[in-house]
Structure 1
Amino acid sequence: MITKMKTELLQNNRQLQLLRYPERQNETLQAWDAGDEYLIEHVEKLNLPANSHLVIINDSFGALSCWFSERYQVSMLSDSYIAQQATLANLARNQCHQVRLLTTMDPVPSDAAAVLVKIPKSNRHLTWLLDSIRQQLNADIPVISVNKAREIHTSTLKLFEKHLGKTHTSLAQKKHRLVFSVADATPVESNPYVEWPVDGENYWLKNLPNVYSGENLDQGARFILPHLPQDPTSKQIIDLGCGNGVLSIKLGQLNPYASIIGVDESHMAIASATLNIKSALGDEFDFEGRVNNCLDGFDSSSADLIVCNPPFHQQLAVTDHIAWQMFCDAKQVLKPKGKLMVIGNRHLGYDNKLARLFGKANLRQIAVNKKFVILQATK
């Protein structure tokens, strides 16, 4: 039996209806967490002047932006296109005031009265954010961060102290803890990119801090690279979930006259992929990087080949619905006889999902090892 997920945030005699994005029937995951509630409770007690500027970083689905937009000017910074779209949808759902949407590659607004941060999983991304805050803010501006208590380690607090300034923590509440900081540390110079060569290939990759597997080549990409097709009939290729562009580069080398679109929901991924394509294939190569939710807005029957290395998590929640949406969108966007090539962990059962969509007779296994399987489905 599926338990209906709670969609009403009730706090301080106020109610918001909040949904994750994209909306799904029988959703089992909530659009906010106890960390959001803890931040709301604390900031309300600060009694900041009405209409002052509140900067919110990494608002997962817009709960904080919706709540604080009633009283303050709000800027929400996120690397996630999904988080931005969720925020817009929840703002409209609750008839909230407008919020300024920025990416975490944009400077932190210097006129902030306070900065609220949901601590990211990646320490590289956290360091990037702390450096950005330190560069823009004075030491009298409160920076209040939150995460699950078990995720706030001594090493995490040392990053805050090194890259931002004096830091202390709250008591735990509902398994979450607040981190209080000020921007008074000596600025630290750092290179935003991590750069490394791809094993067995003739190109390097530059990776901004929030790019998936940005410090080394992930095992799935390593396994699928030698199996990417060279096919002169594939004129329109989509790299769905392109990350740093590692598969796009190989596809471009094998199919130099094709047009390739790299799609990812991370702004940093698309920026990194675009830079890497230009470096490896030249400015003239026909590549477009597109920040998007899967293949929303793509024309039906427009692609000859789609290559996909699906994620199995959204924010910090493990889920397979993104892979399913990718597969459904791919079937819609592929031309008749077009092919979808998928790499995935064997235990995820992508073969069953693809067989349901494309038909068992139109599915074949390209390669398999102890951990991964490469599948090809033909429309």
Structure 2
Amino acid sequence: MSDRMTAPWGEYALARFPEDPRDRLRAWDASDAYLLRHLAESGTPLDGAVVVVGDRWGALTTALAGHGPTQITDSYLSREATRANLARSGVQPDGIRLLTTRDAPPDRVDVLLVRVPKSLALLEDQLHRLAPAVHEGTVVVGTGMVKEIHTSTLRLFERILGPTRTSLARQKARLIFCSPDAQTLRSRGRDPWPYTYRLPDDIGPLAGRTVVNHAGVFCADRLDIGTRFFLRHLPAARGGGRAVDLGCGNGVVGTALALADPDAEVVFVDESYQAVASAEATYRANLPDADGRADFRVCDGLEGWAPDSVDLVLSNPPFHSHQATTDATARRMFTGARRALRPGGELWVVGNRHLGYHVTLRRIFGNSALVASDAKFVVLKAVVRGPRTSGRPGGGA
């Protein structure tokens, strides 16, 4: 859904990416508008190096495009949304830098604008990475909805950059004001990310092995219980073929498959740059001599993949888009998997029982089988039936 955001510098047509006319969620919220109003009303000078971190759908970058901002994001979808929203609003991208969380940060930051992320770890990592470019004259303003800003959020700014305070709440949004301090910047300590730990002993091929997590990856300091259940019920080795760990996170599922089936080619896919970096680090920590058997891609799921190009897809889909609970991401992942799978190819999914993925799979594939279940989770399997001759379930797309 495209919507228009009014800011002090104009009105901007904005949409999430990929744009879906059925999606009623906006590409901006009250915290974006609050920050932009504050910048205009306070007369914050924007003629220096402006850096925007965590801009979810490009609303801040689009509104500030005339000041040549640098955007830093961990999300491929956010980056593509920014490109689309700049074009939709008739803004030329010249002078705007779109960086990822894996790129080298700018050498100097005069204005640092932070859209507070859901992950406190990702905020910690990004503040540490940007701190060398921050100086005592840097204007630092964070923004988020009230429910997203906690005492721990403020402590991070204070511990890494300098004294921090918050604004009054407006429309359930709040601003964070931080005054960088030379002593704090010097004594902030080291960035604790990435984080490495040993996996439990009862999870199949990866038992007792190493996992590497960059900041922001789901359950970065431990194995989440859904993935743990999935690892106990992975498909048997097939003696080769092409498999995809879809929404790979730290890559433990795809790495387990690669260990169990040495002849398989495994592709790790996620829209998070931190996740794909984690997956590659986890894979290489456990299969250091397996070059050429794995591929690592930051992209929008299986969108654009050639039909009949995959034998197996494994997925633990997210059911949140930032703060919104939605099955839209899972549906798109399942639909993309069906297009990419060969006839006879299988999608294996783990999810909470209450999400009803079996219903969604039957709509898309025409079938769904229960592989395993416990009180909280289910592992389901869907199969591409017959040749691709139509767009109906079981046929081709």
Same fold (TM over 0.5): yes
Structural mapping, 1:2-151, within 5 Å: 7-12=3-8, 14-48=10-44, 51-69=47-65, 71-98=66-93, 99-151=96-148
**CA distance, structure 2, for counterparts of residue 114 and residue 28 of structure 1:** 32
Which of 324, 348, 356 aligns to 2:355? It is: 348
Q: 1:62 to 1:133 in 2, by over 3 A?
A: same
Match of 2:320 among 294, 306, 313: 313
Moved over 4 A (4+): 48-51
Query: For structure 1, which segment, 9-18 or 348-357, has the greater mean C-alpha deviation from structure 2 after superposition?
Result: 9-18
1:92-241 aligned within 5 A: 92-98=87-93, 99-184=96-181, 185=184, 186-200=187-201, 201-241=207-247
For the Cα contact (< 8 Å) 2:74–2:273, is it kept in 1?
Answer: yes
Separation (CA, whole Å) in 2 of partners of 1:51 and 1:154: 32
Q: Which residue of 1 aligns with 2:379?
A: 374
Q: Calculate percent identity across the aligned residue pairs.
A: 38
Distance across 1 between alignment mates of 2:9 and 2:46: 19
- Partners of 1:217 and 1:68 in 2: how far apart? 40
CA distance in 1, matches of 2:321, 2:107: 30
Retained in 2: the 8 A contact 1:241–1:263?
yes
Equivalent position of 2:301 in the other structure? 294
Q: Which amino acid aligns with 2:359?
A: N
CA contact 2:348–2:381 (8 Å) conserved in 1: yes
Which secondary structure state, in structure 2, belongs to the residue aligned with residue 270 of structure 1?
Answer: helix
C-alpha deviation, 1:136, in angstroms: 1.4
Does structure 1 residue 263 correspond to structure 2 residue 269?
yes
RMSD value, Cα: 1.6
Which string of whole-angstrom CA distances, capped at 9 and with x for unpartnered residues, describes residues 237-285 of structure 1? 0000000011011100111011100000110110011011011012424
How far apart are the structure 2 equivalents of 1:367 and 1:261? 24
Residue in structure 1 matched with residue 282 of structure 2 by the alignment = 276
Q: Per the alignment, do residues 298 and 283 of structure 1 end up closer, same or farther by CA in structure 2, a change over 3 Å counting?
A: farther
Aligned length: 372
Q: What is the alpha-carbon distance in structure 2 between the residues aligned to residue 110 and residue 45 of structure 1?
A: 28
For 2:338 and 2:98, how far apart are their aligned partners in 1?
A: 32
Deviation at 1:46, TM superposition (A): 4.2
SS in 2 for 1:31: coil
Whether the aligned pair in 1 keeps the contact of 2:239 and 2:262 (CA below 8 Å) is: no
**Matched residues in 2 for 1:97 and 1:182: separation?**
32
2:146 and 2:332 map into 1 onto residues whose CA distance is: 33
Q: What does the per-residue CA deviation read over 1:59-110, in whole Å, with 9 as the maximum and x for residues that have no partner? A: 01001011000x2011100111111011011011111131211112334323
Task: Kindly indicate whether the alpha-carbon contact (under 8 Å) linking 2:52 and 2:114 is maintained by their aligned counterparts in 1.
Answer: yes
Paired with 2:229 and 2:45, the residues of 1 have a C-alpha distance of 55
Q: Under a length normalisation based on structure 1, what TM-score does the superposition of the two structures give?
A: 0.94
Normalising to structure 2: TM-score of the pair?
A: 0.90
Q: Do the aligned residues in 1 keep the contact of 2:52 with 2:60 (CA within 8 Å)?
A: yes
